[in-house]
Amino acid sequence: MKRIFVPFLSFLILLFIFIVVFLFSTRYIKVVKAKDRLIKIQQKIEEIKVENKKLKEEVRLLNDPSYIEKVAREELGLAKPGEILFLPRIR
């Protein structure tokens, strides 16, 4: 009876160890994947914060009359009434 019991007990112990290792390894893999997703999301949040800051600065500039005048003069070639524009010759 003891000869059969020892191998069977060894088998049960090994089976238990295998199940425990399997369960913990699958949980560990899930945790690693979740951490990876978290890092990617945090990076995306930082990128969006930087973009948001740039957009807020652009909105601030677009509400500034002197900036609007500068853009109108330099990029659109507009002038105030009575002003004469001198444009460089392109050869």
pLDDT score of 82: 80
Residue 62, judged by CB atoms within 10 A of its CB (0-12, 13-18, 19+), counts as exposed
Tens-digit pLDDT profile for residues 13-23: 999 999 999 98
Tens-digit pLDDT profile for residues 31-69: 999 999 999 999 999 999 999 999 999 999 999 999 998
Give a yes or no: residue 14 inside a domain. Answer: yes
Look-up of token digits 């652009």? 58
pLDDT score of 16: 92
Q: Report the distance separating Cα 75 and Cα 88, nearest Å.
A: 14
Domains identified in the chain, total number? 1
Give a yes or no: residue 42 inside a domain. Answer: yes
Q: In this structure, are residues 85 and 77 in contact, taking their beta carbons and an 8 Å threshold?
A: yes
Residue 1 pLDDT class (50, 70, 90 cuts): low
Give a yes or no: residue 69 inside a domain. Answer: yes
pLDDT score of 78: 81
Q: Report the distance separating Cα 11 and Cα 47, nearest Å.
A: 54
